[in-house]
Copies of this chain bind each other. A is one copy, B any other.
Amino acid sequence: MKILTQLKKYSAELVDLHHTLALMQWDQEVRMPRRAAEGRAGQFATLSALVHRREVAPELGVLLVKAEAQKTSLSVEDRALLRVMRRSYDQNTKLPEEFVAEFSRLTSQAQMAWLEAREQSEFAIFQPLLERLVVMARQQAEYLGYAAHPYDALLDLYEEGLTTVQVEGMFAELQVPLVALVKRFSGRLPPLAFAEPFSQTGQEQFAEHLLVAMGFDFTRGCLTRSAHPFTTTLGHHDRRITNRYAPKSLDFIFGALHEGGHALYEQGIAEGLAHSHLDDGVSLGIHESQSRFWENVLGRSRPFWQRFFPELQQAFPAQFAHTGLEDFVRGINAVTPGLIRVDADELTYNLHVLIRFEIEKGLIEGSLEVAALPRVWREKYRQYLGVEVESDAVGVLQDIHWAHGSFGYFPTYTIGNLASAQIWEAYKKYDPGFCQTLADGNLAKVKEWLAREIHAHGSVYLPQELLVRVTGAPLSVGPFLAYLEEKFSALAG
């Protein structure tokens, strides 16, 4: 068999097994009975160990070396496959099998503990697990290796090549202008409030309606409910979204648009990349650029709601019969420093991320103890956002990421926000009539451009490379700040 055929077969097998692991996680958050948690953790650890063994097999190392010797004769896609598999092989061979199994068992347990801790607003339930997670994450960084800071090793897992210094630089450029914008617009756009609850069924139906309008393909995915919305891939034709439904919140809309954006990226990957390591978004930052593009850039814009607000009014007359389009658009963009990251407006959101970045960095470098988190969380929220944290449930326990064992993930949210604005600039050049396009509800036009320019390529191009291809420039904070300035000035009149 040709080397490359062998490599592709190997890739397909690993992808199959990772999709199986993803199914176990999806089920864990969507359907699994509570007492099954410990057993599932064991099952997950068993399969993870088996997969890990395949991922670090010397035969794969040999295949990679042989394929690399033929590199110059390969197509762009095959070279990319080799790049992604090499990166994954190098990362994996650095982690001992025992470590992988224990980490996976620990994160399964931690997720259940986190759920309970959050329900009871009791950090102490989660604390011992988080302490073990931090120890293991530091260990992970040591195994993976880094040049300057142990946190670099973790950042790199989610955004190839990203460093602590870069993230610090990004926030240094953002922090002052963001705080100024928050000051200018805080309280100037009246938020929406609902006396009547939205029915669960009505929310589900409207979320589904929006997803269909965006072009989400329900024959290749589904929408279910979970505590924390997420998107996951269980196969080339199986990209699933979860959403959540609170009685008096518009989460169901922005959750659907956000996860829908992630899912469109995944569903848009070219058929030719199916069943391989390239059949995936290239990085979390680029992934987040897609979710935020739909959630914020389009989904909180006036032209988008010119088309959809009448339908929303029809679906929920008790809530919207007496609200006008302008009030609605101002309401969904209200700037209110708050406690919850996923509820944050576009101006305060990246300050939430900054807090998490500083805490993670402290935990990993050892300058911060887990036991101090509730206190530190309160202090930073007071300092950066001017709000008082009422309870751990709406404080340090609000995010599932650490329970997943994900440290270094949060900064990719800010990268996504910056990239979404930069991509929007490029789209507007392609379609100068973008206002009318949205007002007509012609989301297919936007989706097709995104699919062609970004989605179809899967992991073929590096994140920075892709961004330059699409926008003509590397990532910068300028387009994002300009987008905010223009949008909020217009809204505030």
- Whether B23 contacts A222 by the Cβ 8 Å rule is no
Given contacts A27-B23, A33-B221, A220-B35, contact A46 B16 (CB under 8 A): yes
The answer to whether A237 touches B27 (Cβ under 8 A) is: no
- How distant is the Cα of A46 from the Cα of B221 in the complex, in angstroms? 22
Contact A47 to B20, CB < 8 A, known contacts A39-B275, A235-B40, A275-B42: yes
The reply to whether the CB of A219 lies closer than 8 angstroms to some CB of chain B is yes
Interface status of A2 (Cβ within 8 A of chain B) = no
Q: Which of A18-59 contact B (CB under 8 A)?
A: 19-20, 23-24, 27, 31-36, 38-40, 42-43, 46-47, 50
Instruction: Please give, as numbers and ranges, the residues of chain B lying within 8 Å of A224 by CB-CB distance.
Output: 31
Residues of chain B lying within 8 A (CB to CB) of residue A31? 222, 224
Q: Tell whether A343 is near chain B: CB-to-CB under 8 Å.
A: no
Across-interface contacts of A43 in B (CB, < 8 A):
16-17, 19-20, 235
The verdict on A238 contacting chain B, using a C-beta distance below 8 Å, is yes
- Please tell me if A236 contacts chain B, counting CB pairs below 8 Å: yes
Residue among B33, B36, B38, B235 making CB contact with A39, cutoff 8 Å: B235
Q: Which residues of B contact A36 (CB under 8 A)?
A: 220, 234-235, 237-238
Residue with the highest number of chain B CB atoms closer than 10 Å, among A32, A43, A234:
A43
Q: Which residues of B contact A222 (CB under 8 A)?
A: 31, 33
Query: Which of A20, A34, A218 is packed against the most chain B CB atoms within 10 Å?
Result: A20
A219 touches B275 (CB 8 A): no
Q: CB-CB contacts of A219-231 with B at 8 A, as 1s and 0s?
A: 1111010000000
Q: Could you say which of B17, B32, B40, B217 contacts A47, with CB atoms under 8 Å apart? A: B17
Contact partner of A237 (CB less than 8 A), chosen from B39, B46, B218, B275, is: B39
Interface centre among A33, A47, A219, A224 (most CB of B within 10 A): A33
Query: Hey, which chain B residues are within 8 Å of A122, CB to CB?
Result: none
Chain B residue at minimum C-beta to C-beta distance from A239: B33
Closest to A31 in B: B222
Q: Could you say which residues of chain B place their CB within 8 Å of the CB of A218?
A: 33
Query: Is A13 an interface residue, CB under 8 A from the partner?
Result: yes
Within 8 A of B (CB), among A341-383: none
**Bound-state Cα–Cα, A36 to B221, Å:** 8
The answer on a CB contact under 8 Å between A17 and B46 is: yes
What 1/0 mask marks residues of chain A from 57 to 82 whose CB sits below 8 Å from any chain B CB? 00000000000000000000000000
* A14 (CB) vs chain B CBs: closest residue: B46
The secondary structure that dominates the A interface is: helix
A137 to B83, CA, bound (A): 43
* Protomer copies: 2
Given the complex, which residues of B lie within 8 Å of A236, measured CB to CB? 39
Q: Which residues of B contact A27 (CB under 8 A)?
A: 23, 27
Residues on the B chain within 8 Å of A32, using CB: 234, 238
- Whose C-beta in chain B lies nearest to the C-beta of A220? B35
Query: What B residues does A34 contact at CB under 8 A?
Result: 219
Task: Return chain B residues, CB-CB under 8 Å to A221.
Answer: 33
Are B20's CB and A220's CB within 8 A?
no
Q: A34-B219, A219-B35, A222-B33 are in contact. Are A40 and B275 (CB under 8 A)?
A: no
Bound-state CA distance A323–B39 (Å) is 46
B-side contacts of A238, CB under 8 Å: 32-33, 35-36, 39-40
* CA A253 to CA B16, docked complex, whole Å: 38
Q: Which residues of B contact A46 (CB under 8 A)?
A: 12-13, 16-17, 20
* Minimal beta-carbon separation of A23 from chain B (angstroms): 6
Contacts of A13 in B (CB 8 A): 46
Look across to chain B and name the residue whose beta carbon is closest to the beta carbon of A238: B36
Query: What 4 A-B pairs have minimum CB-CB distances, sorted nearest first?
Result: A39-B235, A36-B238, A16-B46, A35-B237
Known: A20-B47, A32-B234. 13 other contacts (CB 8 A): A12-B46, A13-B46, A17-B43, A17-B47, A17-B50, A20-B46, A32-B238, A33-B219, A33-B221, A35-B238, A36-B234, A43-B235, A50-B50
A residues with a Cβ closer than 8 A to B are: 12-13, 16-17, 19-20, 23-24, 27, 31-36, 38-40, 42-43, 46-47, 50, 217-222, 224, 234-238, 240, 274-275
Enumerate 25 A-B pairs (CB-CB under 8 Å) in ascending A order.
A13-B46, A16-B43, A16-B47, A17-B43, A20-B20, A20-B24, A20-B46, A23-B27, A32-B234, A33-B218, A33-B219, A33-B221, A33-B238, A33-B240, A35-B237, A36-B220, A36-B235, A36-B237, A38-B237, A39-B274, A39-B275, A40-B238, A42-B275, A43-B235, A47-B47
